[in-house]
Structure 1
C-alpha cells in the first residue's frame, strides 16, 4: 500500500496512548500536499498537544481536533466533523482508525453485569458510536479508496476472565467490520481488524488495578515489571508494516505477532 497519497485521515481516541501514536506516525507518511488529519477524542487540551506534536514533524499539514463524548454522540455529530474537516475536498484515499474504547468494569464477573443503564452507555461508547461514525465515513467518502481500521484485541476472539464487558463489545465491533468487509469485497473499501498486543497504557494499568481475577492481575503485573509489554510506538510501527506489505485480506484479524510483513 502506498501511503504517500493525498489522504484524509481520521483517528478516534487520539488524545493519548495508541491513538495519538497512530496519528503521529501516519501523519508523517501521508504528508502529501492536500492531505488532512482529523483527531477525535474527549480531552481537548490533550488533542491540542497531539496536534502540536504532529506540527513539529509535518509542518503545514492541516490538523483538525474535535472533542466529543462518544457515550452520547449522534450521527449528526459525526457528519458535521467529517464534512467540516475536509469531506468535500478531493482525496486519493480516506482512512479511519476506530481506536477509541474503554475497558469497562473489570471488578465484576459476567454473571454480575446486568445493569442495563450502564450497558447502554457502555455499548454506545464502544460499539454504536463506531458503527455510526463508520456509516458517515462511508457516505462522505463514497467513490474513493477507503481503508477502515478497527483496533481489535485478543479479547474479541477469546474469553478473558474479568473482562466480560470488554470482550463482548470488542467481539461485536469486530463482527460488524467483518460483515462490512464481506459486503464491500468487490468495491473500494479495505477493512482491517488490527490487534495491537498487550501495551503499556492506562487501560492495562486499570485492568491490573481493578480486575477481580488474581491470575489476570498477576499476568499484567508480571508483564509490566518484566518490561515485556509493548510500547505504543512498537505496535504502531508494526501496524504500518502490515499496511505496506498488504498481505491481509479485507476483514482479516491481524495480531501484532502475526507474520504478515
Structure 2
C-alpha cells in the first residue's frame, strides 16, 4: 500500500509484508439529545450513516483491494461497542451503525474466509466522546452511568488487552471479543 503514497518507490518496496492491518475506530455519536423516535431529519440520518457506515465500507474495501497482493494476511480490527448488540437508551443512531459494521464484516468473512477479522469491544473508554455523551444525552440513566468515572476504562488499559489478544492470536476469526471477557 505504500506505493499508493510513494509511487516512485514501487519497485523497491518489499512485497512480502506479513500482515496488513486496518483498525476501524473512528465514529460519531449522532443525535443523542432526543429519542430515536423523535428524529425526523432524513438529511441528518443520511449524513450520520454516510460517516459511520458507508465510509467504513468504502475504506475497508479500499484497504482490502490495495493490500491483497502485497501482504500474506489481511487483518481487520473493528472497534465496536456493546451498543451493537444491546440497545442502550440515548444511542439511537449509534447502535444500528455499530451493528451494521459488524454485520458487514460477517459478510466480508463469508465472501473472503482467508481475511482475519476481529470485532473488539473495548468497554466504555474514557474519551471525549463519552464526555460529549454525558453532556448531551436526553436519557438520565445513560447520563448517570456515563458520568460515573468508575465505569470508564482508560484507553491505555483496553489497548493493552487488545494487543495481548492479537499477540496470542486465540480469537475465533470474525468473532466479537469484549474487554470484560478477557
TM-score by length of 2: 0.90
Counterpart in the other structure of 1:19:
none
1:94 maps to 2:20: yes
Q: Deviation at 1:85?
A: 5.9
Within a 5 Å distance, the mapping from 1:182-261 to structure 2 comes to 182-185=110-113, 187=114, 189-222=115-148, 224=149, 227-259=150-182
Q: How many residues align?
A: 175
The whole-number CA distance in structure 1 between the counterparts of 2:4 and 2:159 is 27
Q: Unaligned stretches of 5+ in structure 2?
A: none
1:181 maps to 2:114: no
Question: Deviation per CA, 1:105-160, whole angstroms, max 9, x where unpaired?
Answer: 11111111221101111111110001001111111111331110111000000000
Partner of 1:257, secondary structure, is helix
1:164 maps to 2:92: yes
Q: Quick one: higher RCO (CA 8 Å, sep 6+), 1 or 2?
A: 2
- What is the CA RMSD across the aligned residues, in angstroms? 1.8
The whole-number CA distance in structure 2 between the counterparts of 1:102 and 1:133 is 16
The whole-number CA distance in structure 2 between the counterparts of 1:228 and 1:212 is 19
Within a 5 Å distance, the mapping from 1:71-86 to structure 2 comes to 83-84=4-5
Partner of 1:93, secondary structure, is strand
CA contact (8 A) 2:145 2:151 kept: no
The whole-number CA distance in structure 2 between the counterparts of 1:162 and 1:229 is 17
TM-score by length of 1: 0.63
Structure (1 or 2) with the greater helix fraction: 2
Counterpart in the other structure of 2:34:
108
